[in-house]
Amino acid sequence: MNRLAQQAASGGLPFDYAQVRARSLELIRGLSAEDCQLQSMADASPLKWHLAHTTWFFETFVLAALPQPPKVIDPSYTVLFNSYYVGIGERHLRAERGLLSRPTLEEVLSYRKQIDQQLQQVLADTPQDSALASLVTLGLQHEQQHQELMLTDLKHHFSCNPLQPAWRAAAPEQACAAGIAQASAYRAIPGGLCEIGAYDDGFSYDNEGPRHRVWLEPFLLGERNVSNGDFIAFIADGGYQRPELWLSDGWEWVSQRQAQAPLYWQQDADQHWLAFTLAGLQPLNRDAPVCHINLYEADAYARWAGARLPTEAEWEHAARAEPNLAGLFGEVWQWTNSAYLPYPGYQPAAGAVGEYNGKFMINQMVLRGSSCATPAGHSRPSYRNFFPPAAQWQFSGLRLARNL
């Protein structure tokens, strides 16, 4: 048995690489080339672009780092599939990714296959504790992020189609039950001097460290995520028409959008709530956690409920101290009241790969946990997701906190 086969059989990096790459292809099973070409808004990207960009990442940051790097497969891909890495060079406009009818989906899949063959050969001779192996691991984590984006973006693309197409037969966002705890049920979390940030015992992004100490006052944290039924009560009580509940920017957002409900919600002729899901339009499951709300909506609901959003430090401390809290992971990302800023002593990685996280530490808010669209194994208590406060198209919800 060769080294590659040995590593794969033992669950090593070649196995992980093959599994993650295969998962991306599984996400487009049953979709047409036209489905993979869609771009419904500037913040979203075509699925074809995601497939190509994640492959470009391995070619650019892993294969190009070899002592004798292979020939670039297509120089035009360096521009077409670069996302935001200014240090790499020119980039195609994000808002115009949907105009890239060429290369075709077939050509992108061929590109993936060629890079996979080259990477598997490299991994067969790469020690798992090497710098190159660390870059491959980063690339796999990066691809898992894009796998979630593929679902969020596809859902938005499909929601714009009056035929209301479905990705699969089941809707994961409807199946994630919020649990039986009462909406008013809270868990008391002790405060004190707490350590926040990633341990050095596994993969973490640079923005999850350094591990540092913070002082937390004792607080209460909701035993479950806010449900669709909870949010319907907020709507029925005029939540979207009451400016006293909203942050200034949030009220401006409500007024400009004439917002009346979370993204993808609608009512039928009998005033029953429906939701567009990954399985098409369905009656809204009131027990599932509310999803596709932005920070403004989350904060307004919290004020209406006589509560607040937790800080990211509170959320992480509770996740480590109280692992039995329902829905911390796998339901919805939970908005926090923390701006996305560097931890004390933070230093981004050297080179272009250092642009991955650090340069976005402005005008973003932190979400914690993971969602029903997050790949298995891609979440941990220290994970810091971040989006602008007006973003709704992610699988984002909320969990309430209160002062003790």
Q: Which pLDDT belongs to residue 322?
A: 80
**Which residues are CB-neighbours of 401 under 8 A, at least 6 positions away?**
219, 220, 221, 222, 302, 307, 308, 309, 310, 311, 314
Write down the mean pLDDT value for the chain: 94
Check residue 371 and report its DSSP letter: B
Mean pLDDT of 102-120: 98
Four-CA torsion 191, 192, 198, 200, nearest 10 degrees: -140
Question: ∠ CA 252-257-263 to the nearest 5 degrees?
Answer: 115
d(CA 168, CA 273): 21
pLDDT digits (tens, 9 = 90+) for 53-81: 999 999 999 999 999 999 999 999 999 99
Give alpha helix (H) positions in 82-130: 105-123
Q: Which pLDDT belongs to residue 128?
A: 79
Q: Do 171 and 279 touch, CB atoms closer than 8 A?
A: yes
Q: Do 187 and 323 touch, CB atoms closer than 8 A?
A: no
Give the burial string for 27-60 (b: 16+ CB within 10 Å, else e).
Answer: bbeebeeebbbbbbeebbbbbbbbbbbbbbbbbb
CB-side neighbour CA atoms (13 Å) of 13: 25
**SS3 of 333, please?**
strand
Rg (CA), the chain: 22
Q: Which pLDDT belongs to residue 1?
A: 40
Mean pLDDT of 152-180: 90
pLDDT digits (tens, 9 = 90+) for 199-229: 988 999 999 999 999 999 999 999 999 999 9
**pTM of the complete model:** 0.95
How do beta strands 396-397 and 333-339 pair?
A: parallel
Q: What one-letter code names the amino acid at 235?
A: I
**SS3 of 60, please?**
helix
Q: Do 295 and 398 touch, CB atoms closer than 8 A?
A: no
pLDDT digits (tens, 9 = 90+) for 136-153: 999 999 999 999 999 999
CATH class of 3-159: mainly alpha
pLDDT digits (tens, 9 = 90+) for 299-351: 999 999 999 999 999 999 999 998 889 999 999 999 999 999 999 999 998 88
Q: Do 321 and 251 touch, CB atoms closer than 8 A?
A: no
Q: Do domains 3-159 and 172-403 have the same CATH topology?
A: no
Q: Which pLDDT belongs to residue 351?
A: 83
Q: Do 381 and 201 touch, CB atoms closer than 8 A?
A: no
Question: To the nearest whole percent, how much of the chain has pLDDT over 90?
Answer: 88
pLDDT digits (tens, 9 = 90+) for 342-395: 999 999 988 888 888 889 999 999 999 999 999 999 999 999 999 999 999 999
Mean pLDDT of 192-198: 97
d(CA 37, CA 54): 16
Q: Which pLDDT belongs to residue 2?
A: 44
Fold (CATH) for 172-403: paralog of FGE (formylglycine-generating enzyme) (3.90.1580)
How many other C-beta atoms are found inside a 10 Å radius of the C-beta of residue 305?
20
- Both tokens of residue 357? 């996280």
Give alpha helix (H) positions in 28-104: 47-61, 77-80
How sure is the predictor about 182, in pLDDT bands with cuts at 50, 70 and 90?
confident
Q: Do 257 and 141 touch, CB atoms closer than 8 A?
A: no
Q: Where are the domains of the chain?
A: 3-159, 172-403
